[in-house]
């Protein structure tokens, strides 16, 4: 199918329900309801954005929507899906996709994203983001699903690279080649999760820098950072888990700095989804990301006319 000629409009349209806050060059954090009062009372938290998981807002009303509506008045929002199962073997759940589309219409998010993963089989839902074999058959299925999503929501979507713990013998291409071809076939954008790159590289013994060198960075519209946990596998080797329950690790900050030096200040989100700390701790992580974005912004603008990501 031809590339979708629909793109997110970050400007205010005539029918907008919310202000069209800018998001370019900003760092943000996951929005947690328990932080709402602290955010609203914090006079220094007027820069940034918040990301929410779409599935937490698929009811019609109640406190979750009241809190998100309040946040959306003052901040841009990124809507992140976690249950679409874009890589799954069966057709997309049209009811779920419809709810996803209605959320986009309701909150006018600056960014919309989902995962390169699957989580459903027949009538069973697995509460995980499961990996895919990188084959031509998988590529066509994911491309078809992306086309359906983008046609339904009438805008392009950002697709996130996975954190993986197993590899498939039947894969015939690298993850980066698979992602690059998805962009070519569908016109989707990319969400580069730098922590996922580091986790997968450590678990499988490849170079995170080489992965990034082969990744289509020019199509990245958002970056994720997060903490991870260290465990041991059955052989006693180090195994990293994309746990989202800790500060961003130093090697991930280093990789992030490298990416921003190449691509400029891309909107960056710090995820923290369990063992959630008080607001100042999460805000400090976003402030650290913002410092890196700001440090590279001036140099990138000066060099933009001479070099491209």
168-199 residue pLDDT tens: 889 899 999 999 999 999 999 999 999 999 99
Is the pLDDT at 4 greater than 70? The verdict is no
Residue 90's CATH number: 3.20.20.150
Query: What are the Cα distances from residue 268, in Å, to 19, 50, 163, 235?
Result: 20, 10, 18, 36
Give pLDDT, residue 104: 97
Q: Are 269 and 293 in contact (CB under 8 A)?
A: no
Give pLDDT, residue 121: 56
Give pLDDT, residue 83: 86
Instruction: Decide the pairing of beta strands 229-232 and 238-241.
Output: antiparallel
Question: Is position 309 within any domain?
Answer: no
Question: Is position 141 within any domain?
Answer: yes
Give pLDDT, residue 79: 98
Q: Which is more confidently placed, 12 or 196? A: 196
Encoded tokens for 274: 């369990």
pTM, full prediction: 0.90
Backbone angles phi, psi at 268, to 5 degrees: -130, 130
> How many residues belong to the chain?
309
Give pLDDT, residue 102: 97
Kindly write down the DSSP assignment for every residue of 119-166, as one continuous string. Answer: EEETTEEEEEEE----SHHHHHHHHHHHHHHHHHHTS--EEEPPP-S-
**Band of pLDDT at residue 63, cut at 50, 70 and 90:** very high
The CA distance from 163 to 167, in Å, is 11
Please count the structural domains in the chain: 1
**Band of pLDDT at residue 6, cut at 50, 70 and 90:** very low
Question: Is position 6 within any domain?
Answer: no
Task: Give per-residue pLDDT as tens, 79-94.
Answer: 999 889 898 888 999 9
Percent helix, strand, coil in the chain (nearest 5)?
40, 20, 40
Question: Is position 209 within any domain?
Answer: yes
Question: Is position 19 within any domain?
Answer: no
Give pLDDT, residue 167: 82
Comparing 9-13, 89-93, 158-162, which segment has the lowest mean pLDDT?
Answer: 9-13
Q: What is the mean pLDDT of the chain?
A: 89
Kindly write down the DSSP assignment for every residue of 192-229, as one continuous string. Answer: EEHHHHHHHHHHHT--HHHHHHHS-GGGEEEEEEE--E
Give pLDDT, residue 299: 78
Task: Give per-residue pLDDT as tens, 92-141.
Answer: 999 999 999 999 999 999 999 999 985 655 555 445 567 888 999 999 99
Domain of residue 236, residue span: 27-303
Q: Which of 85, 185, 93, 200 is nearest to 136 (CA)?
A: 185
- Measured in whole angstroms, how far is the alpha carbon of residue 180 from the centre of its chain? 16
Mean pLDDT value across residues 17-34: 95
Kindly give, in sequence order, each residue whose CB lies less than 8 Å from that of residue 164, ignoring residues fewer than 6 positions away: 131, 199, 200, 203, 204
Question: Is position 17 within any domain?
Answer: no
Q: Which of 264, 257, 254 is nearest to 308 (CA)?
A: 264
Task: Write the DSSP symbol of residue 18.
Answer: S
Q: Which of 44, 14, 23, 22 is nearest to 284 (CA)?
A: 44
Give pLDDT, residue 251: 97
Question: Is position 152 within any domain?
Answer: yes
Q: Are 227 and 248 in contact (CB under 8 A)?
A: yes
Question: Is position 35 within any domain?
Answer: yes
**Band of pLDDT at residue 14, cut at 50, 70 and 90:** low
């Amino acid at each position: 199918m031809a590339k979708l000629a629909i793109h997110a409009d970050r400007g205010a349209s005539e029918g907008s329900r919310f202000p069209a806050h800018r998001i370019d060059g900003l760092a943000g954090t996951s929005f947690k309801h328990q932080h709402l009062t602290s955010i609203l009372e914090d006079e220094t938290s007027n820069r940034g954005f918040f990301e929410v998981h779409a599935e937490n807002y698929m009811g019609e009303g109640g406190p979750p929507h009241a809190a998100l509506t309040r946040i959306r008045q003052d901040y841009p929002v990124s809507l992140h899906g976690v249950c679409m199962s874009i890589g799954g073997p069966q057709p997309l759940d049209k009811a779920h996709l419809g709810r996803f589309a209605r959320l986009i219409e309701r909150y006018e998010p600056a960014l919309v994203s989902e995962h390169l993963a699957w989580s459903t089989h027949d009538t069973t839902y697995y509460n995980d983001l499961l990996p895919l074999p990188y084959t031509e058959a998988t590529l066509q299925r994911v491309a078809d699903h992306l086309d359906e999503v983008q046609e339904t929501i009438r805008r392009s979507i950002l697709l996130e690279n996975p954190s993986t713990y197993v590899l498939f013998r039947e894969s015939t291409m690298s993850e980066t080649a698979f992602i690059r071809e998805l962009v070519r076939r569908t016109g989707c954008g990319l969400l580069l999760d730098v922590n996922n790159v580091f986790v997968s590289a450590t678990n499988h013994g490849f170079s995170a820098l080489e992965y990034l060198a082969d990744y289509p960075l020019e199509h990245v519209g958002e970056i994720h950072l997060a903490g991870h946990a260290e465990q041991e596998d059955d052989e006693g080797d180090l195994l990293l888990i994309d746990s989202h329950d800790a500060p961003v690790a130093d090697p991930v900050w280093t990789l992030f700095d490298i990416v921003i030096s190449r691509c400029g200040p891309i909107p960056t989100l710090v995820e923290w989804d369990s063992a959630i700390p008080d607001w100042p701790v999460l805000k400090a992580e976003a402030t650290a990301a913002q410092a890196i974005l700001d440090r590279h912004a001036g140099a990138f603008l000066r060099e933009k006319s001479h070099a491209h990501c």
